[in-house]
Amino acid sequence: MNKLWNFINGEFVPPQSEKYLESFNPATGKPHLLVSDSDERDVALAVDSAKTAFTDWSRTKAEERAKFLYRIADLIDERKVKLAEAESADQGKPVWLASQMDISRASHNFRFFAGTILHSHDRATRMDQTAFNYTSRKPLGVAGLISPWNLPLYLLTWKIAPAIAFGNTAVAKPSEFTSHTAYLLCEIFQEAELPNGVVNMIFGTGPRAGQALVTHPDVPLISFTGGTTTGRAIATAAAPMFKKLSLELGGKNPNIIFDDADLEEAVRMSIRSSFLNQGEICLCGSRLYVQRGIYNEFVEKFVAQAKALKVGDPREKDTFLGPLVSKDHLEKVESFLKHARDEGIQILAGGNLPKLSAELANGYFLEPTVFAGVKHVSRIQQEEIFGPVVSITPFDTDEEAIEMANGVTYGLSATVWTKSLQRAHTVAEELHAGTVWVNTWLMRDLRLPFGGVKASGLGREGQEESFEFFTEAKTICIKHG
């Protein structure tokens, strides 16, 4: 079985512990890779390497840095098929989706920030005739980057690209469940001749390798995407060290369909926003609220389309849902199904493990599941399930929909379906969410801020926001005369 070694100072090196974690292909339930089980010693080596590289890299001209980023982006595109297959075999998503979404976005992330650094600028102000001020922005040093398993290469590159574009060096730790594309990305760094130590990759578990990165005294900023509970632990560990922190956390996103919506389009897109990537996207709309006038018709169409989705082999082009990422995660999602049955919640579709071929019989598959009649206070309605499980609830007035939508601790995103411009503006303003989509879902302009409110996170990512996060501003004030 292939061993994924750490990538430190431009070379693949075994973990100090000489221990490995088994990584499973979720479609078959069989181990397919061995991942370095790194600890604080590996993290210390990686941070030393990044610290050393920082001296030259932070002084490298933006144009030169951009050239490396463009080269990396091109190499990702050249390896698209291999990367998509690796991502699918590691995470479970269909190969077509990995190719269209994850790998395409990964190269785009590098191109986007390569362009950004060629155009970013400092600010200047004049105070009447007395003084002139300007800001001077500098990279901070070694960035600690921790990413989750659901969109492995997409989210990892969304951190690495801005970190190194703005002149920092990086130590990254992908999820132990999905390390393969991160490893292949390091091969690309070698081929692109990215200077040694600019990006270092440490594989292993969160509590060991991740925690060592968060608490390392020479890592002044941490960018984390993952669950809210982990985010809280990271914030607690980082706060006494006054580290700069960005937290992109979980969601329980409402999807509100008003009775003046384009029904066919709302159903079609709600199927995607409910079940794409097996529902394992932080932005999936897991709580559907449908206005009473179209409730029955919507439910009938939505349930029929959910039942028609193909669950199965992620290598097949017509598969919509592959397996969930791990056995533990499947069991967690199943515990919500059990809870729903105990509460007497109505199951309109799914709720079972599908029967598949012998090769996939031990995979972590689950049917797309639709609940109805869920009480607002139920765990099903309040907690992030992070699987192909949604609820549908009717509502009468706009105010009622807004109140239910806002009535959770999360606030990552929301979707609104209406043809009324006035209603779209009014409702979007009232929703507690970092992003509100109207008559669409998952469209993202990377220039604008992204992030959550309440328990969904701290800080924003985007063109200007990432510039601010990955650099430190100094204001210089020069008095006239």
- Contact window for ligand NDP (CB under 6 A) among 86-94, 105-113, 173-181, 184-192: 173-181
- Contact window for ligand NDP (CB under 6 A) among 48-56, 242-250, 255-263, 354-362: 242-250
Nearer to ligand NDP (CB atom), residue 71 or residue 173? 173
Provide, rounded to whole angstroms, the least separation between the CB of residue 284 and ligand NDP: 9
Q: Which of 94, 251, 459, 462 binds ligand NDP (CB under 6 A)?
A: 251
- Three-class DSSP category at 403: helix
DSSP state of 26: T
How many residues of this chain interact with ligand NDP, rule: CB under 6 A?
33
- Contact window for ligand NDP (CB under 6 A) among 25-33, 48-56, 246-254, 294-302: 246-254
Q: Is there binding between residue 457 and ligand NDP (CB under 6 A)?
A: yes
DSSP state of 34: E
Q: Is there binding between residue 207 and ligand NDP (CB under 6 A)?
A: yes
Contact by Cβ (8 Å): 103, 84 = yes
Give the amino acid at 102: D
Contacts for 30-35 with beta carbons within 8 Å, 24 or more apart?
30/362, 31/1, 32/1, 32/2, 32/89, 32/90, 33/1, 33/2, 33/3, 33/4, 33/90, 33/179, 33/180, 34/1, 34/2, 34/3, 34/4, 35/4, 35/176, 35/179, 35/203, 35/204
Provide, rounded to whole angstroms, the least separation between the CB of residue 31 and ligand NDP: 16
Q: Where are the beta strands (DSSP E) in 77-233?
A: 124-127, 131-139, 142-146, 169-173, 199-201, 221-225
Name the active-site residue from 85, 248, 334, 367.
Answer: 248
Q: Which of 85, 176, 313, 465 binds ligand NDP (CB under 6 A)?
A: 176
Q: Which of 205, 305, 362, 439 binds ligand NDP (CB under 6 A)?
A: 205
Q: How far is CA 213 from the centre of its chain?
A: 19
Which residue, chain included where needed, has tokens 């005739």? 129
- Contact window for ligand NDP (CB under 6 A) among 109-117, 208-216, 260-268, 309-317: 208-216
Q: Pairing between strand 453-454 and 410-411?
A: antiparallel
Site for ligand NDP in 128-147 (CB under 6 A): 146-147
Q: Is there binding between residue 37 and ligand NDP (CB under 6 A)?
A: no
Provide, rounded to whole angstroms, the least separation between the CB of residue 367 and ligand NDP: 21
Give the whole-angstrom CA distance, residue 298 versus residue 301: 5
Q: Which of 76, 95, 103, 233 binds ligand NDP (CB under 6 A)?
A: 233
Rg (C-alpha) for the chain, rounded Å, is: 23
Provide, rounded to whole angstroms, the least separation between the CB of residue 223 and ligand NDP: 11
Give the whole-angstrom CA distance, residue 309 versus residue 34: 33
In angstroms, what CA-CA distances link 359 with 56, 91, 355?
Answer: 51, 17, 11
Q: Helix axis angle, 152-165 relative to 80-91, nearest 10°?
A: 120
Q: Is 248 a catalytic residue?
A: yes
Which residue, chain included where needed, has tokens 């990537």? 277
Q: Which of 23, 36, 157, 175 binds ligand NDP (CB under 6 A)?
A: 175
Q: Is there binding between residue 113 and ligand NDP (CB under 6 A)?
A: no
Name the active-site residue from 85, 87, 280, 282.
Answer: 282
Q: Which of 195, 197, 250, 322 binds ligand NDP (CB under 6 A)?
A: 250
Give the whole-angstrom CA distance, residue 395 versus residue 469: 40
- Contact window for ligand NDP (CB under 6 A) among 199-207, 335-343, 375-383, 400-408: 199-207
Q: Is there binding between residue 211 and ligand NDP (CB under 6 A)?
A: yes
Q: Is there binding between residue 282 and ligand NDP (CB under 6 A)?
A: yes
- Contact window for ligand NDP (CB under 6 A) among 24-32, 73-81, 229-237, 473-481: 229-237
In angstroms, what CA-CA distances link 322 with 84, 131, 327?
Answer: 14, 62, 13
Give the whole-angstrom CA distance, residue 49 versus residue 55: 11
**Cross-sheet strand order for the sheet of 2-4:** 2-4, 30-36, 20-25
The dihedral through the CA atoms of 121, 200, 143, 109 has a sign that is positive
Closest CA to 66 of 116, 124, 16, 130: 116
Which residue, chain included where needed, has tokens 């991740």? 210
Binding to ligand NDP by CB under 6 A, coded x per residue (else -) over 353-392, reads -------------------------------x-x------
Q: Is there binding between residue 173 and ligand NDP (CB under 6 A)?
A: yes
Nearer to ligand NDP (CB atom), residue 105 or residue 173? 173
Q: Which of 15, 139, 195, 210 binds ligand NDP (CB under 6 A)?
A: 210
Binding to ligand NDP by CB under 6 A, coded x per residue (else -) over 394-423, reads ------------------x-----------
Contact by Cβ (8 Å): 241, 217 = yes
Provide, rounded to whole angstroms, the least separation between the CB of residue 448 and ligand NDP: 14
- Contact window for ligand NDP (CB under 6 A) among 41-49, 67-75, 83-91, 204-212: 204-212
Q: Is 282 a catalytic residue?
A: yes
Catalytic residues: 248, 282
Instruction: List contacts with ligand NDP (CB under 6 A).
Output: 146-151, 155, 173, 175-177, 205-207, 210-211, 214, 225-227, 230, 233-234, 248-251, 282, 384, 386, 412, 452, 457
